[in-house]
Copies of this chain bind each other. A is one copy, B any other.
Amino acid sequence: MTQLETMGAAAKAASRFLMNAGARKDDALLAIAKALRENASAIIEANQTDLKNGKEAGLTDSLLDRLRLDEARIEGMAQGVEQVAALPDPIGKVLDGRTLKNGLKIEKVSVPMGVIGIIYEARPNVTSDAAALCLKAGSAVILRGGKEAIHSNCAIMSVMRAAIAGIGFPEDCIALVQDTSRQSATELMQLTDYLDVLIPRGGAGLIRSVVENAKVPVIETGVGNCHVYVDASADIEMAANIIFNAKTSRPSVCNAIETVLVHKDAAAAALPAIKAELDKKQVEIRGCEKTREILGDCVIPATEDDYEREFLDYILAVKVVDSLDDALDHIAKYSTGHSESIVTADYSAAEKFTSCVDSAAVYVNASTRFTDGGEFGLGAEIGISTQKLHARGPMGLNELTSMKFIIKGSGQIR
């Protein structure tokens, strides 16, 4: 057995314990929160090593900031775990049920997934967040974080495992892959005997690698080439506000927009108003010919590649389209199926857009930035699914569960 297979088998065994752990899961979460607080200094010390290595490796300031832990951030992690404990248990819900003509009583009940794998990048707070959500959902979890955070993650995991062992849980309910080589990630993606689902959280490169290599069931997350379409009938001020918010309030996240499509009849009035807003944050505009005719040479000519890319930066592609249908075609071609929004005053345009755009979240007259578990009221979020199987859009605790049928009879045969 490889090290990961051993880890997988241990997680599988622990998952049988968790399947019926009920409210004791909350005790485990509260024990984790307490232990994180009590061991904050040890975790911060481990984090110092990661920060030092990160600086030497030339990580950018923003990456170093994501990596950094201090008392306040560890307090935030502990509170996050407590918030998960306070959520309703997603397990054991009767989702459906009836009595068949032959007297069999059939119920569809939510049950744990079993063993969940999560691959993520250099954000040590994800280690406690993801572990807490999986534990609450009754599943064992195998985490594999980015190599830049390995010392922090090991320290956090060690604290969490000791905490749950202290109240009688198998420590293998939560585990961390300490080998951060690319090979260990690939092996995790192929651990078919033990993993019930793998959730990659990260950029387009990670997602591609998972689609290419995974043999276990996967929930793809996070890649968002999102669009706002400004309809002929749009309120120009509303459109400019929504576009400014969706592009600049946090450009690095997946629900930020990358392309704006403008109906030709609205372009002359809308484009200057949109540009005026975007100029407040020096957003670079890459536009089609018609956009450049209206806005001038300050607009860089857009290439095919610009419509395909997730800039995740203060850059926006803009295209003038002839009709709503053209906008729908553009979105069908380039969207990653995350979030798209129409700004319109026209009832039938709104209905057509929401019917025809095949994305996880389709908006009318609102910013795409709302695609988020917290905003949608899920209580917590493990990621945003951009696939159509099992979960789509923001995933909370319910999306981390499976179901089974329980059928009670009195000797029925078929």
Contact = CB atoms under 8 A, between A and B. Distances in A.
Given A356-B19, A362-B404, A370 B414 contact: yes
A113 interface: yes
A297 to B, nearest CB: 30
A402 B358 CA distance: 10
Interface centre among A106, A113, A219, A406 (most CB of B within 10 A): A406
Contacts of A242: 411, 413
B19 A405 contact: no
A71 interface: no
A369 interface: yes
Given A113-B388, A114-B358, A403-B392, A412 B366 contact: yes
A113 B405 CA distance: 24
A388 B15 CA distance: 14
A389 B392 contact: no
B356 A413 contact: no
Contacts of A214: 215
Contacts of A350: 408
Interface string A286-313: 0000000000000000000000000000
Contacts of A360: 404-405
A241 B413 contact: yes
Contact of A409 (B359, B365, B412): B365
Nearest to A104: B366
Given A356-B16, A364-B407, A366-B407, A375 B219 contact: no
Contact of A369 (B20, B217, B414): B414
Interface string A85-116: 00000000000001010001010000101100
A181 interface: no
A363 B212 contact: no
Contact of A218 (B217, B392, B410): B217
Interface residues of A, number: 68
A70 B349 CA distance: 50
A84 interface: no
Interface string A9-23: 000000010011000
A252 interface: no
Contacts of A409: 363-366
Contacts of A414: 245, 249, 367, 369-370, 375
Interface in A377-394: 377, 387-390, 392-393
27 contacts: A19-B358, A20-B356, A98-B377, A100-B377, A104-B366, A196-B387, A197-B389, A214-B215, A217-B217, A217-B389, A235-B411, A241-B411, A242-B411, A249-B413, A354-B408, A360-B405, A361-B407, A362-B405, A363-B407, A363-B408, A364-B406, A364-B408, A365-B408, A366-B409, A369-B413, A370-B412, A392-B402
Sorted nearest first, the 10 A-B pairs with minimum C-beta distance are: A366-B409, A245-B413, A388-B402, A390-B390, A369-B414, A238-B411, A217-B389, A366-B412, A361-B405, A367-B413
